[in-house]
Structure 1
Amino acid sequence: MGSKHSALLKYVLEKSQPGNVQSVINTIDEFAWNKRWLMNIGDKKGKILDDAVRSRSPNTILELGTFLGYSSLRIAAQMPEKALFVTVESNPESATIARRIHEHAGVSNRIHIVVEPTDQAIPQLKKLFNVDSFDFIFIDHTKNAYLRDFRLLEQESLIKSGTVIVADNVVIPGAPDYLKYVRNSSNYTTELHKTKLEYSNYIPDGVEVSMRL
């Protein structure tokens, strides 16, 4: 388990209020701004994610890349009470910390973590969760896997008319092949939200918000 990740967990358990999602979110942001940088979506870009979840009010949600559980906390805070939320994480150590943070925040019963590489997990999702497709998808894992996994989601018919897809870090580190695909497809409307890299006031980044027509 990475020392930074262990340090974050310790900080969250000590500094945040148990059962209070917003307190846990704020504490992770505090750690990342003041202690050690983290590669989650962060507080500024997180508001774009929050708005997208609220606008869609999804009943079925998929996240690719749980990392330490930060963005799934943000999604859980905005999603309808009865929504199905599945998040996929290939790193077992990260998933363990995320699960512990979700438990501390009081939302672990609302978030299903699948610990497996995304390209192996995606073909199993329909069967595992008895779901036809997802209303909302958040992509924030290995950048060069964005397009591969997006096309796999399409092949598995997990994206339908009205599905909202939010992709983080499309400028830094960047996902040019994904952007080219979604922007040139007549199946989607898409918009780049220009912003700054997580926990930075200067480095430009962007979040792509797309919807299947």
Structure 2
Amino acid sequence: MDSAPDGDPKALLKAVDNLSKEDINVIHVGDIKGQLIDEAIQPLKPKIIVEMGTYIGYSAIRLASEALKMEQDVQIHTYDVNAQMVEIAQKMVNKAGLDSVIHIHHGRFHDLAPELQAILGSENPVDLFLLDHWKPSYVPDTQRLMELGLLRRGSLLIADNCLIPGAPEFVDYIQKAPEWNSKMVKTLYRENLTDEDGVIFAAYRG
């Protein structure tokens, strides 16, 4: 990844994609799922994005790069409980030149959500949130956003890894909850494997 020039998010993302083909331990969203997410957010033109599960920063950088094509005032808040991942992700974000756009928070979103509420205020609801962390937290963290009034009608939820490793409780919840209009898109789990995963896209009805 050091080969990617500073301030070039696209080159940095490509370097991570290439590394993942050689190292199975690199478990980022990847380009196939990334393209699905890119297409989903284009009509949304999100300004406020929340991610749960920063990992190495790939998704946040990709989301920022895509959103900035449509809006200038984009802010991303991403959360991870792993201090080592937070450190790596911050270096990645700095290298991409997106440190003024992407804000990395160390800790559980459920605990830090009131801080986000204070940062955003009532006039800046979350347009998009991505779930890509500990699967048992998908439901409570989604409900936390709703409880604190951080969403608006039309806010988009994207949840990765709904089939591999799987988030059955979340899938059941989001498909039955009247507040959400959801669909699952099946795609490859990883680009160099044949296993099928599912990504859920859900619009908030309010």
TM-score, length-scaled by structure 1:
0.90
- Partner Cα separation in structure 1 for residue 24 and residue 162 of structure 2: 22
Q: Does 1:144 align with 2:132?
A: no
Secondary structure of 1:108's aligned partner: coil
Select 2:25's aligned residue among 33, 37, 46. Answer: 37
1:20 counterpart = 2:12: no
Tell me, yes or no, if the aligned pair for 1:25 and 1:70 is still in contact at 8 Å: yes
The secondary structure found in structure 2 opposite 1:136 is: strand
Aligned to 2:54, what secondary structure does the other structure show? coil
**Segments of 4+ moved more than 6 angstroms:** none
TM-score, scaled to structure 2: 0.93
Amino acid at match of 1:63: E
Q: Residue deviations 1:1-22, cap 9 Å, x none? A: xxxxxxxxxxx12x21211111
Give structure 2 stretches of 5+ with no counterpart. Answer: none
Contact 1:161 1:212 survives alignment (8 Å): yes
CA distance, structure 2, for counterparts of residue 54 and residue 88 of structure 1: 23
More helix per residue: 1 or 2?
1
Letter of the 1:181 partner, please give it.
Y
The root-mean-square deviation of aligned C-alpha atoms, in Å, is 1.3
The share of aligned pairs that are identical, in percent, is 26
Alignment deviations for residues 146-204 of structure 1 (CA, whole Å, 9 cap, x no partner):
01111111111112211000000001011111111111122211111100113433011
Consecutive unaligned residues in structure 1, runs of 5 or more:
1-11
The 2-side partners of 1:186 and 1:117 are apart by 26
Separation in 2, partners of 1:160, 1:82: 18
- Match in the other structure for 1:179: 171
| Alpha-carbon offset, residue 123 of structure 1 | 2.6
